[in-house]
Amino acid sequence: MHHNGTQNNDDCKPLGSLTIPHLKDGVLVHVPALHEGWVQTRCYLFYTPPPQQESDGSFLLGAKENWLDTMEFFCQDLEWLLHLEHYRFWSQIVFDQAAMDMVLSFLQDSYPFYMISEFPCDEEMWKMYQNIHRLIFLIINRLATHTESKTDYMTPKLLGELIYNNYIFTIPVLIDLCLIYGQENRQQLMKIINTVFEVQPQYQCDLAKSIGYFTQALLGVGMRLDVPLQSAAEVPTRLKSTKNRLTVETLTDLINHVLDSAISISSLLDIYPPACAAFHQQLFELRIVSFYENTIPELYHKLEVLVNRDTTQELYKKLKTKLEMTRVELLKAFRDMLSSSINDMLVKKDNLSPAEVKAIVDDYVSVLSDCLGDKRFVRDYHKKYPLDQDLDMLAQLCPEMDKLKSDYLLEAALACFDTPPIRKKSERERAAIRPVSPPSQEPEEEAKATKQKVSGVRLDSLITQVKDILPHLGDGFVERCLQYYDYVSDAVVNGVLEGQLPPELQVLDYTLPRIPPEDDGTNEGHGLSLEQEEDDELDKIDYTKSHRGKRKGPYRDLRQMMKDKSHREEFRDLYARLGVVESVDDVYDDEYDDTYDHLDVSVEDEGDLERRPFVVPRVLRQKDDSESSDEEAEVEEDDVDESGPPRDQFVPNPEEIRARAEQRRLARTSHKPKSRDVIGQPKGHGQEKQVTINRSNKTAHKSTRGNHNRRVGAQRKRQQGMVA
């Protein structure tokens, strides 16, 4: 049906009740404005991604020209659709499915904002892409508009029915719009999506159902990496058979899928904040925490194992950057979901009772408390969104908040750090540690003086803070960035992630290692840092005397060490000089006769001092000798028979001592060893006395060895009647 007249809507009727007059077989009839008769048959072209460049930057022969020609016809179809009259436009969209498929083809195959850098470097192709990008957004904007003018409009209810029943807008389409237009056309896109949800409330139900698909996407990645899950019932059956070997291509697809899912959730929550309540109602925050804590580290591990090689360094850096973007987007999504109830409370604070405010605050604290076991996530979240600031704000909004619980929450968050987090200093504290410049300094010198170099433990801590978020960066590169940003770690992270580093930092190698500065003597008089003192102490250690492993001593056991008398030789010369020993060759002789050594019969040498006369002790004297004179004693000594034993001998002969000791030893070894038999004869044949004694001794001394509680256990069993 072709209209050969003009639209006449002087009564300003909406599209649903408007009729258009036209001639049919010479008869003027009125046809509804929204009718399939107004559809024009047309062969559409669909959007296709641009061809990729070769390694030298060129394209395959004819690929670029073919794509430009095809997209030129595609743009003509878009412009034709866009310039249709209001009733013809909606009739074409509603009754011609191919027209809507043409529009959706661009949303499905275009570049999201985080991958736009991968578009081929060609000016003609980029201009064509930008033109298509603009035309599609104009068509989307027209599809979400129920009033174009006073004569071209429809009721919001009719718009909601058209876009919902004909699948013009779906939750996946809205997410694609967020990924493609969320950065450049944020405000207008927010208006479009808000209109869609307002004119059709059923989209809220579809949004709640779509959360389950996001959950399956995250759990599916974990199953692909064999990450243990909390419940196997949470994973669809089609995702459970994932034992295939992981390759570089598969890992690349997984990382791209994870990044796309994270940015899709984050962008939807950013463009349409009411969606946060739906995610929060299903506790999707805990899904994010579990994925962040378990799956993300496994992706890093697989990336290091499979891709971190000399031949794939470019791919390694690209994938690692995508993982870091994923972490940032997941933290942002968690933040939006968690704070949605707090934001609503701030808007409706005057209409809420204190009990309702306290319930919202308690819910906020409860979700954070459930995350305390996931230390990686809590550490990163606290760095990006400090918990102490949130808790202080909540304490001001709700004075009835449990102070003990909030303090515990903050302490548990700080405990997730290996080292205590560095608190941001106030201006007064920074001024206290900042060296004061002389008044005569120039402004440039004064600015340089305020930027003092941070070193030692403080610098290491700042580098660690940056590398916790961006672990692929080298320590040296991070240090240079910290110097540029006045040692503010958050500024460095934002500059790297947003690609806003200054030119002097962009030319550096991102994996630049850190080279410690050499000591040029400038630290003299200022003391040494902790690292320098430790290095000095280590330098003093003589590593040549160190021993690795178990050292073997010169002695096999204590007995061998006690028998070693070599130390005597070390002091023999000293004792000889002091007169303690007579000579080095003085060796004890067992054949020496010391019978009369107790008498003073030594020959006085020349120069000997006068000795005291020898006197026999009173105890050793005999009664007959005690009253005799010295002369009688001398006579008796002369009459003594040398063959017999001396009369006053009290020192035994060493030969006799050794002989008696040998006899005792032979007597001991000749005895039969003591029997320790506890088995004895079979039962009923009687037992020897020694066997009975051995059994008693074994039972009495059983506690001195392992398993000594068997006797106690046996007694307990007997008391309870368990053993007959």
For residue 72, which of 128, 136, 119 has the smallest C-alpha distance?
Answer: 128
Residues 310 and 360 in one domain: no
Q: What is the mean pLDDT of residues 296-308?
A: 91
Domain end (from 286, 317, 347) = 347
pLDDT tens-digit series, residues 318-340: 999 999 999 999 999 999 998 88
Residues 254 and 387 in one domain: no
pLDDT tens-digit series, residues 659-705: 888 888 888 776 566 677 778 888 777 788 888 888 888 887 776 66
Residues 358 and 300 in one domain: no
In a domain, 135, yes or no: yes
Residues 285 and 142 in one domain: no
Instruction: Residue 507: give the domain boundaries.
Output: 454-517
The helix/strand/coil state of 32 is strand
The tokens for 465 are: 């803070």
Say what the pLDDT of residue 393 is. 85
pLDDT band at 529 (very low <50, low <70, confident <90, very high): very low
In a domain, 533, yes or no: no
Say what the pLDDT of residue 22 is. 76
Phi, psi (rounded to 5 degrees) for 313:
-65, -40
Residues 383 and 315 in one domain: no
Instruction: Give residues with Cβ within 8 angstroms of 495, minimum separation 6.
Output: 481, 485, 501, 505
Per-residue H/E/C for 435-470: CCCCCCCCHHHHHHHHCCCCCCHHHHHHHHHHHHHC
The helix/strand/coil state of 167 is coil
DSSP string, 202-271: HHHHHHHHHHHHHHHHHHHHHHHTT---S-GGGS-GGGS---PPP-HHHHHHHHHHHHHHHHHHHHHHHH
Q: Which residue has the tokens 């006769």?
A: 593
The helix/strand/coil state of 28 is strand
**482 or 236, higher pLDDT:** 482
The helix/strand/coil state of 428 is helix
pLDDT band at 289 (very low <50, low <70, confident <90, very high): very high
Say what the pLDDT of residue 708 is. 60
The helix/strand/coil state of 29 is strand
Cα 180–chain centre separation: 32
Residues 285 and 370 in one domain: no
Say what the pLDDT of residue 333 is. 94
- Residue 705 falls in which region: left (phi positive, over 0), alpha (psi -120 to 50) or beta: beta
Domain end (from 347, 377, 406) = 347
Residues 115 and 44 in one domain: yes
In a domain, 704, yes or no: no
Residues 327 and 406 in one domain: no
CA distance 706 to 225: 47
User: Which of 166-170, 623-627, 695-699, 708-712 is predicted with the least confidence, judged by mean pLDDT?
Assistant: 623-627
Residues 71 and 175 in one domain: yes
User: Which of 44-58, 254-268, 461-475, 702-716 is predicted with the least confidence, judged by mean pLDDT?
Assistant: 702-716
Residues 46 and 186 in one domain: yes
- 322, 263 in Cβ contact below 8 A? no
Given a cut of 60, whether residue 183 has pLDDT beyond it is yes
Predicted structure pTM score? 0.57
CA distance 327 to 216: 18
Handedness of CA 117, 118, 124, 130 (dihedral sign): negative
In a domain, 276, yes or no: yes
In a domain, 162, yes or no: yes
**616 or 395, higher pLDDT:** 395
Strand partners, 28: 23
Q: How many domains does the chain have?
A: 4
In a domain, 253, yes or no: yes
Residue 494 sits in a domain whose CATH number is 1.10.8.10
Q: What is the mean pLDDT of residues 554-575?
A: 73
Query: Strands 19-24 and 27-32: what pairing?
Result: antiparallel
Whole-number mean pLDDT of the chain? 77
Q: How many helices (H) and strands (E) does the chain have?
A: 31, 2
In a domain, 81, yes or no: yes
Domain end (from 308, 328, 347) = 347
In a domain, 47, yes or no: yes
Residues 245 and 310 in one domain: yes
What is the percent of the chain with per-residue pLDDT over 90, rounded to a whole number? 32
Say what the pLDDT of residue 426 is. 42
DSSP letter at 147 equals B
Question: What burial letters (b/e) apply to 480-500, b meaning 16+ CB within 10 Å?
Answer: bbbebbebebebbbebbeeee
Instruction: Give residues with Cβ within 8 angstroms of 565, minimum separation 6.
Output: none
Q: What is the mean pLDDT of residues 280-293?
A: 92
Q: Which residue has the tokens 């060609």?
A: 122
For residue 391, which of 400, 383, 381, 401 has the smallest C-alpha distance?
Answer: 401
pLDDT tens-digit series, residues 488-505: 888 888 788 777 788 888
Residues 184 and 91 in one domain: yes
Instruction: Give residues with Cβ within 8 angstroms of 464, minimum separation 6.
Output: 419
pLDDT band at 646 (very low <50, low <70, confident <90, very high): low
What's the CA angle centered on 298, arms 293 and 301, to 5 degrees? 130
